[in-house]
Structure 1
Amino acid sequence: MSADRRDGFRSEIREAGDPPEATARVVDAAGTEDERVVEAALRPRRLAEFPGQPRVRDQLGLVLEAARRRGTPPDHVLLSGPPGLGKTTLAMIVAAELERPIRVTSGPAIQHAGDLAAVLSSLDEGEVLFLDEIHRMSRSAEEMLYLAMEDFRVDVVVGKGPGATAIPLELPPFTVVGATTRAGLLPAPLRDRFGFTGHLDFYETTDLVTILHRSAGLLGVDADEPGITEVAGRSRGTPRIANRLLRRVRDWAQVHGEGHVDHHAAREALALFDVDDAGLDRLDRAVLQALCRRFGGGPVGLSTLAVSVGEEADTVETVAEPYLVREGYMSRTPRGRAATARAWQHLGLTPPVDAPQQAALPLADDGPGRLEG
């Protein structure tokens, strides 16, 4: 196909299938974008600066270095894990390490094949396409993405009815970085097209201390080691939560203290914002309270549990449940969610004599019951 004709098809795609909400934005991964939001300012910009996740970091570093030496775009990358662990940050780092621009969009914004075709047709060679929440793409867009990832082309349908013709549009080599909190919901054909899959797990407290020291320096927060350690220990193993709590402790220290984040300021601020000594917040405790007080420890279905705490089922499953299961406060059973002895103890309650003892499903179990977030 000639260059003029190909450009013409790309123009048609943009006009027909590129609504504003589906348009990907181009981000300079190495720039600051004027630090529009605090979270963006706190993101590491290179793989060497990324703390924690040593296995994923080393594996991804190998993939990127090999691609650089070959002079070709790396294999497509899939990052999975609970929210707030650094999937978006790693996607930005991939582009920065490759010294290529990154185009950012999300699964919910790609609801038609035309939306995806408009994004793909405007990619340059070696560009990184970041698809957040990739498991929420429409089925028609997923099928188009299969071909684009494997053969670097999309089929453009011209005309309607019996006279419609599919014309292949060649794409320059590019790299897809997909992020998902629910890898089990990805169809197998899409999952298999990713050359590298990395699962991010919760961070150790020592890694969070390192992150918070760096964040305190960037934010200009005067903090000592006991104060940082106290915040890190209540951050549920999640950097996003740790950075958010650090900012709230800073606020408390500026208003009620002397502007210095120490152990006392951290404890008082976190108590004000309903974060207890174990790092459980209002939603976590509400889930445990419902399990123990309303349902006698369970088992109870996820939907019923979510209604009882006034939240969506997805919120309970992706926000509260991963940490509660990991820390042994709740178990997932074939019959539903159940409270463990540690949950009763944390709430200061005595479990009933006939409370069922349920075994938790393994977190790494693959298939429909897999817990990804």
Structure 2
Amino acid sequence: MRGPRVADDDVTAPEPLDEVELAVEGALRPGTLAEFVGQHKVRGQLQLLLDAARIQQRPADHILLAGPPGLGKTTLAMIVAQESERPLRLSSGPAIQHAGDLAALLSSLTPGEVLFIDEIHRMARSAEEMLYLAMEDFRIDIMVGKGAGATSIPLDLAPFTLVGATTRSGMLPNPLRDRFGFTAHLEYYEPDELERVVERSASVLGVRLGEAQRVEIARRSRGTPRIANRLLRRVRDYALVHSGGTQPALADVQAALDLYDVDAIGLDRLDRAVLDALVRRFRGGPVGLSTLAVTVGEEPDTVESVVEPYLVRIGFMGRTPRGRIATPEAYAHVGVAHPDGALNLDDL
């Protein structure tokens, strides 16, 4: 929104901060598959699917995007709508807790519209069962009345493309999973790919980074673009406050990330607390998830879904039938000598 004119100069007041931030956030998301960094195999598969739908002048097949948080599932859904030249409708599994919620959503779709449902595995079971018929035949059955007098009224839907995103594909019922024409499994990013993500985002944010700075941010980003972008913003803020500029030195990058408790390999305060408890208090385990969570003052779900995946992936923790164990690499990172006779993954 433009403000009043200042004297005779063509100068306007700055846009409200929230609008500016929203614009920046939107700019950080790539708009096409060609701009999307990483996930080469998935991008090629999606491109083929969208090109075939365009040639046949039909909506694209339903798409399931599976993978850990922060890898670009929402961005890919937006790209599917953009490259299909179709409108996009956004929703989420937790918001669809009744079949009526889903019926209202589906009946309002326009022909060819792309419907994105995030965390689709958290939909209510009654809504999932309604979705089976909608995905396959573009039709739903509305129940009118109760008891012996209840009747089913079929309602035809406009053809649409469903893009579902899930961090736990194993929780999806087989009948729902089988109705997706294509399932994409997103993988964690390699360091060089994250460097390219940081380079692109830095140019959008107006931050000038050298190669050493990009490498430092990338290696602390846990293989996740969302985390890389978040750390880049904190580096930008630190440089602005302490250096007064937009060209942070390597020391600025390291100081900013250390200030926010992100260590050299991307572990944060909670990660280190879990490792420290596992190594020092429980002598490397095995220890149960609930006991470990209580020790660090967090919910078991948080430890299991946020902390463990990365610690397991980098080889610092093992999941065994007897509980969680620390590996020799975890001992080394914590700075404690690995005891002889301790349980190792190779022993199982």
Q: Superposed, which structure 2 residues align to 1:12-31 within 5 Å?
A: none
The equivalent of 2:304 in structure 1 is 317
Which range is displaced more, 52-61 or 304-313? 304-313
- Structure with the bigger RCO (C-alpha within 8 Å, sep 6+) is 1
Contact 1:228 1:262 in 2 (8 A): no
- Counterpart among 81, 85, 92 of residue 106 in structure 1: 92
C-alpha distance in 2, partners of 1:189/1:34? Answer: 43
Contact 2:42 2:186 in 1 (8 A): yes
Contact 1:332 1:359 in 2 (8 A): no
Give the secondary structure class of the aligned counterpart of 2:310. Answer: helix
Over aligned residue pairs, what C-alpha RMSD do you find? 1.6
Give the secondary structure class of the aligned counterpart of 1:105. Answer: strand
The equivalent of 2:341 in structure 1 is 354
The equivalent of 1:201 in structure 2 is 187
Task: Give the letter aligned to residue 170 of structure 2.
Answer: G
Contact 2:142 2:153 in 1 (8 A): yes
- Counterpart among 156, 159, 168 of residue 173 in structure 1: 159
TM-score normalised per structure 1: 0.85
1:305 is displaced (CA, Å) by 1.9
The equivalent of 2:248 in structure 1 is 261
Which range is displaced more, 316-325 or 247-256? 316-325
Which range is displaced more, 242-251 or 153-162? 153-162
Runs of 5+ consecutive residues of structure 2 not aligned to the other structure = 1-18
**CA distance 1:209–1:145, shift in 2 (3 Å):** same
The aligned length equals 329
Contact 2:138 2:159 in 1 (8 A): yes
C-alpha distance in 2, partners of 1:197/1:286? Answer: 36
C-alpha distance in 1, partners of 2:219/2:347? Answer: 25
**CA distance 1:34–1:294, shift in 2 (3 Å):** same
The equivalent of 2:316 in structure 1 is 329
TM-score normalised per structure 2: 0.91
The equivalent of 2:82 in structure 1 is 96
- Counterpart among 203, 211, 216 of residue 197 in structure 2: 211
1:35 is displaced (CA, Å) by 5.6
1:352 is displaced (CA, Å) by 2.5
C-alpha distance in 2, partners of 1:37/1:306? Answer: 38
**Correspondence 1:125 to 2:111:** yes
Q: Once the two structures are superposed, what CA deviation does each residue of 1:120-144 show, in whole Å capped at 9, x if it has no partner? A: 0101111111010011111111100
**Correspondence 1:251 to 2:240:** no
Which range is displaced more, 319-328 or 88-97? 319-328
C-alpha distance in 1, partners of 2:88/2:37? Answer: 22
Give the secondary structure class of the aligned counterpart of 2:34. Answer: helix
Give the secondary structure class of the aligned counterpart of 2:58. Answer: coil
**CA distance 1:290–1:38, shift in 2 (3 Å):** farther
Contact 2:59 2:160 in 1 (8 A): yes
Contact 1:331 1:360 in 2 (8 A): no
C-alpha distance in 1, partners of 2:266/2:302? Answer: 18
Contact 2:24 2:204 in 1 (8 A): no
Contact 1:331 1:359 in 2 (8 A): no
Task: Give the letter aligned to residue 301 of structure 2.
Answer: D
Give the secondary structure class of the aligned counterpart of 2:344. Answer: coil
Contact 1:110 1:137 in 2 (8 A): yes
**CA distance 1:37–1:305, shift in 2 (3 Å):** farther
1:180 is displaced (CA, Å) by 0.7
Task: Give the letter aligned to residue 180 of structure 1.
Answer: T
Give the secondary structure class of the aligned counterpart of 2:345. Answer: coil
Contact 1:333 1:359 in 2 (8 A): no
Contact 1:83 1:319 in 2 (8 A): no
1:71 is displaced (CA, Å) by 0.7
Task: Give the letter aligned to residue 110 of structure 1.
Answer: I
C-alpha distance in 2, partners of 1:75/1:298? Answer: 47
Which range is displaced more, 220-229 or 272-281? 220-229
C-alpha distance in 2, partners of 1:176/1:95? Answer: 10
**Correspondence 1:298 to 2:296:** no
The equivalent of 2:327 in structure 1 is 340
1:181 is displaced (CA, Å) by 0.6
C-alpha distance in 2, partners of 1:288/1:343? Answer: 7
**CA distance 1:208–1:121, shift in 2 (3 Å):** same
